[in-house]
Amino acid sequence: MNASIHNPVLPGFHPDPSILRVGADYYIATSTFEWWPGVRLHHSRDLRHWRPIGHALTRTSQLEMRGNPDSGGIWAPCLSWRDGVFHLIYTNVRSLLGMHKDTHNYLVTAPSIEGPWSDPVYLNSSGFDPSLFHDDDGRSWLLGMQWDHRPGHHPFCGILLQEYDHAQRRLAGPVHRIFLGSSLRVTEGPHLYKRDGWYFLVTAEGGTYYEHAVTVARSRHITGPYEPSPHHPLLTARGAAPAGLQRAGHASLVETDDGQWYLAHLCGRPLEWRHDAPAEPPAHYSLDALHCPLGRETALQKLAWDADGWPRLAHGDNAPRREVEGPGLPDAPWPPHAELDDFDAPTLSPHWATLRAPAGEWLSLDARPGHLRLVGRESLMSCFDQSLVARRQQAFDCEADTLLDFSPQDFQQMAGLAAYYNTRNHAYLHVTHDEALDARVLRLTVNDRGMASEPALPVVLPPQGPIGLRLRMNGPTMQFAWRAAEGEWRSIGPALPTAMLSDEHATEFRGDNVAQGFGFTGNFIALACQSLGGRPAVADFDHFRYREG
């Protein structure tokens, strides 16, 4: 009954959790960035066991992301419930390089967490990370950070509040700047809660890397002024190394039906600490020293309220823990997901995602029964029309394999298995044609911050027949392998560094400390097909197997 919660509760790429309880059911919505469908949803009845139940944004009328940059798209959704209706606020980030960011904020609603979700109501574009708070007087309020693009101004220039009119389906009334943030700066991700007559404002601060933190402030009036907590910050892993959880921040709160409180927050597990954190935290963190290829994950911490009515982590300090006291709810596990996807189902499972747009005529599960068929389109560097379907890597040690039937006509046609972080950072084992060898061949290409290389010579394949492809993640390294039919697996190329598939590696800075490339996601294992010359190319994948350990 009182079993502990083991963190992260949502391993792999699941950042910016917005947690909500409706009756006996708990839900978490997480950011999906450029991956489609938008806003991943999970469900639990005990806060320990979680299952994916799909996504909220499944139609292009709700979300248009073709051309969005890497790590653009859906940032920091907020899930809420009012009068029997689910509300979801989200940002579609269309550009993010340089001083300007194009951040459009929308609201969709649904009678059930599983939908159908409505077409969106446009709210504003003042900044990102908006949320919706429903007060006990029947009024609702939109919160969000404001972005200041002007040179010489801090870009995170405070939290704004404005009333939302449900009848008119629009924002109304004056805009209030209610919080400028603490000395940690980078104030974003606001959520508002009410307890004992106080309004509690929870924000993320410090940036989403190793200085990340959660700040709490409160006021007797919704428009402020807001007083920061004397225990500031509520949560941070900065300068601490509890069991390897780092980058802790961007939180939301939930109350159980018996008055217990929990905090859902994002975190990252550095590859270099995949077994245990160092006994003493390093004196200085360097983005070149720690890497999180699994991306930003979701964890839970238990809260307690002090005698003055301020929230604190129940274990006494402000560092996240891997093991947390559970709420004492009855165990409610879900059936385990099968390791093997044989593509016999009429639709893809919730584990699969595509890039920037839903699967169209380029993907089929019935053209060849028992196979996933991909019709080749643009390259892995494209932000528009990729024929790629992928699932999250959720453990440092895991393995994926597939059986590919593909007969390329020229070197511009390719299909295979990829470790895919984004357009500039990926490794791709693929079948193609080599005109000099006059043969079907297997090639391994690596894109590291946009620089392409081939660390192995082409392997000549039989002219016909399926080819097995495998990717093994072994903590700090990954190894590709192949086989013909049911033969022995053969490694191809050297062991490659998995650190190249991390947020830290993908985020690049110029000399003036302005980012020229962003990384906010996590590694995926992908099936893909390209036809760069425009001639038709069809690849059939017989299965996909993913297993951890």
Cβ atoms within 10 Å of 533's Cβ, excluding its own:
12
CB 103 within 8 A of CB 128: yes
Identical fold, 5-270+297-324 and 340-548: no
pLDDT at 8: 97
Query: 3-state SS of 118-179?
Result: CCCEEEECCCCCCEEEECCCCCEEEEEEEECCCCCCCCEEEEEEEEEECCCCEEEEEEEEEE
User: pTM, whole model, 2 decimals?
Assistant: 0.96
pLDDT in tens, 87-103: 999 999 999 887 889 99
* pLDDT-derived band at 486, boundaries 50, 70, 90: confident
Region 517-538 average pLDDT? 94
pLDDT in tens, 171-194: 999 999 999 999 999 999 999 999
CA 65 to chain centroid, in Å, comes to: 16
340-548 — its CATH code?
2.60.120.200
CA distances from 65 to 30, 200, 214, 308, 527 (A): 17, 34, 30, 46, 20
Region 414-423 average pLDDT? 98
Residue 435 has pLDDT above 80, yes or no: yes
CB 512 within 8 A of CB 306: no
Domain boundaries along the sequence of the chain: 5-270+297-324, 340-548
Cβ density class 71-92: b for 16+ within 10 Å, e for less: bbbbbbbbbbeeeeebbbbbbb
pLDDT in tens, 361-376: 999 999 999 999 999 9
Region 69-84 average pLDDT? 97
Residue 275 has pLDDT above 80, yes or no: no
CB 9 within 8 A of CB 299: yes
pLDDT in tens, 124-156: 999 999 999 999 999 999 999 999 999 999 999
pLDDT at 285: 54
Element (H, E) at 504: helix 503-506
Catalytic residue among 16, 46, 129, 341: 16
For the chain, the average pLDDT equals 94
Secondary structure (3-state) at 329? coil
On whether the 5-270+297-324 domain is CATH 3.40.50.300, my answer is no
**Cα–Cα distance measured from residue 387 to residue 472, given in angstroms and rounded to the nearest whole number:** 23
Element (H, E) at 506: helix 503-506
Residue 488 known to be catalytic = no
Residue 7 has pLDDT above 70, yes or no: yes
Residue 56 has pLDDT above 70, yes or no: yes
Catalytic residue among 188, 211, 503, 540: 188
Residue 119 known to be catalytic = no
Tokens in use for 268? Answer: 């990252």
